[in-house]
């Protein structure tokens, strides 16, 4: 578990130079030609050749949908909380897209801040939370 979490955290700490516009993958892992850093080659080698039968790269959901989707049916779920108006969130979202393609067996969900902070003050925040179902 630690071997997987450390590279994930390193990817999140990447500068914007490595970020690229989000795009849909067609059943394959991203290549290094798409701007991933060199250490990502080790992660890329663990990707399946095809993601057919796995989750799509990620889904954008509301707060209520998130609660329904975390019902315990999936063993692992990664959730990105982001703000569309925040430049850091925009860069992180493209990294999250890469991670979702590298780890297709993990369900990836993205939650936009406006869907859960209807009457709250805007605060710049980013978080990726990984849930593990022990049932």
Q: What CATH number is given to the structural domain containing 34?
A: 3.40.30
Domain count, the chain: 1
Digit-coded pLDDT (tens) for 44-78 = 666 555 444 444 556 666 666 666 767 767 677 78
Give the whole-angstrom CA distance, residue 103 versus residue 29.
9
Measured CA distances, 37 to 20, 55, 84 (Å):
12, 24, 24
> Would you say residue 16 has pLDDT above 70?
no
Alpha-carbon separation of residue 14 from 10, 77, 133 (angstroms)? 7, 22, 28
Confidence of residue 107 (pLDDT cuts 50, 70, 90): confident
CB atoms within 10 A of CB 11: 21
Q: What is the pLDDT of residues 17-44, one digit of tens each?
A: 444 444 444 444 544 445 556 666 566 6
Q: What is the mean pLDDT of the chain?
A: 62
The Cα-based distances of 16 to 97, 107, 123 in angstroms read 14, 25, 21
- Residue 108 sits in which domain range? 2-132
DSSP H or E stretch at residue 2: helix 2-12
């Amino acid at each position: 578990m630690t071997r997987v979490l450390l590279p994930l955290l390193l990817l999140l700490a990447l500068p914007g130079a490595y970020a690229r516009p989000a795009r849909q993958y067609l059943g394959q892992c991203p290549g290094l030609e798409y701007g991933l850093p060199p250490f990502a080659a080790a992660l890329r080698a663990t990707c399946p050749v095809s993601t057919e039968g796995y989750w799509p790269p990620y889904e954008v959901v509301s707060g209520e949908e998130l609660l329904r989707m975390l019902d315990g049916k999936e063993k692992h779920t990664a959730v990105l909380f982001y703000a569309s108006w925040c430049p850091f969130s925009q860069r992180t979202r493209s990294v999250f897209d890469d991670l979702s393609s590298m780890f297709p067996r993990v369900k990836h969900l993205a939650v936009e801040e406006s869907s859960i902070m209807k009457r709250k003050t805007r605060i710049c925040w980013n978080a990726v939370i990984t849930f593990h179902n022990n049932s």
